[in-house]
Amino acid sequence: MSRTRSLASLLTDIRWQADQLGAVLRHDDASLTRALNQSIQRYREWFSEQGSPLYLTPHAGVLTVGATAPYAYGTLDMSLWAPAPLHVYQMEVTVNGRVYDVPPIPWEQRNAYQGHVGQLFTAQQPGVPLGFFRIGNTLGIAPAPDGAYPYTVWYMPSLADLATSGDTFDGVAGYEDWLTWDVLIKIIVRDNTPEVYQMAVGERDRAQADILQRLRQDRPSVTRRIDMRGARARRGFIR
């Protein structure tokens, strides 16, 4: 499903909703476009945080075997990926022909995967990746891979700002209403009209709740967590 809207039409929607179709001096197109692009970025982040892959893109490759000196974990360089990653959401690796999810782990746990499961003070042991964490343009892979495993990373790419009147944004199914109200809130703050601020926030929240309901209809909720770490250990993938 796709419902692209041009920058020109989005600016018209914002001005119409704000009852400022002629106020091009105080709220010029350049300022509104900058505010709109900021709202688009936050919208994409929120949308992805709800578990939707709509704005994500995959990057595939093969992991390098072993730890990356001087670290106790492996690393994956993302600096040359195109488009550049903003946020990394999911990772998966293929082991013996089967694809397994690799969840994000806290940076503080980067050194907690060096030995055998349940043995804290063994020599450093590579293994099947159990988690990833991000530092700048580098993904840390823990434990260090013991094989050249194929991987796929799902991430939100950078997005060029809307700049010309014909540039478009995919509103999917009228979701651009959220953008209209979010920019309108910024206009209200600048115009110092607090009497309509809560109304605009309420309308944005209503649009957000409507989007969230549709996302839930398209995406089943996870009611039972699978112990992937335990499952892999029982199958002998963790050594």
The domain segmentation of the chain, as residue ranges, is: 4-52+159-218, 57-157
Task: Identify the CA nearest to 71 among candidates 138, 21, 144.
Answer: 144
Say if CB 49 and CB 116 are below 8 A apart. Answer: no
pLDDT of residue 190: 83
What's residue 115's pLDDT?
67
How far is residue 62's CA from residue 76's CA, in Å, rounded to a whole number?
10
| Cα dist from 133 to 86, 99, 100, 151, 235, whole Å | 14, 19, 17, 15, 25
Task: Please tell me the predicted confidence (pLDDT) of residue 224.
Answer: 44
pLDDT tens-place values along the chain, 239 residues long: 567 899 999 999 998 887 765 656 567 889 999 999 999 999 999 988 888 888 999 999 999 999 999 999 999 999 999 999 999 999 999 999 999 999 999 999 999 888 655 555 556 788 999 999 999 999 999 999 999 999 999 999 999 999 999 999 987 878 889 999 999 999 888 878 888 889 999 999 999 999 988 888 766 554 444 555 554 554 455 44
The alpha-helical segments, DSSP class H, found in the chain are 7-17, 29-49, 176-191, 197-218, 228-234
CA 21 to CA 24: how far, in whole Å?
7
CB 170 within 8 A of CB 2: yes
Provide the whole-model pTM: 0.79
Find, among 193, 148, 140, 156, the residue nearest to 50 by Cα: 156
Residue 183: which of 23, 43, 2, 24 has the closest Cα? 43
C-alpha of 60 from chain center: 17
Q: For residue 105, what are its two tokens?
A: 């782990």
**DSSP H or E stretch at residue 143:** none
Q: What is the 3-state secondary structure (H, E, C) of 194-217?
A: HHHHHHHHHHHHHHHHHHHHHHHH
d(CA 129, CA 131): 6
- Upstream peptide bond of 220 is cis (omega within 30 degrees of 0): no
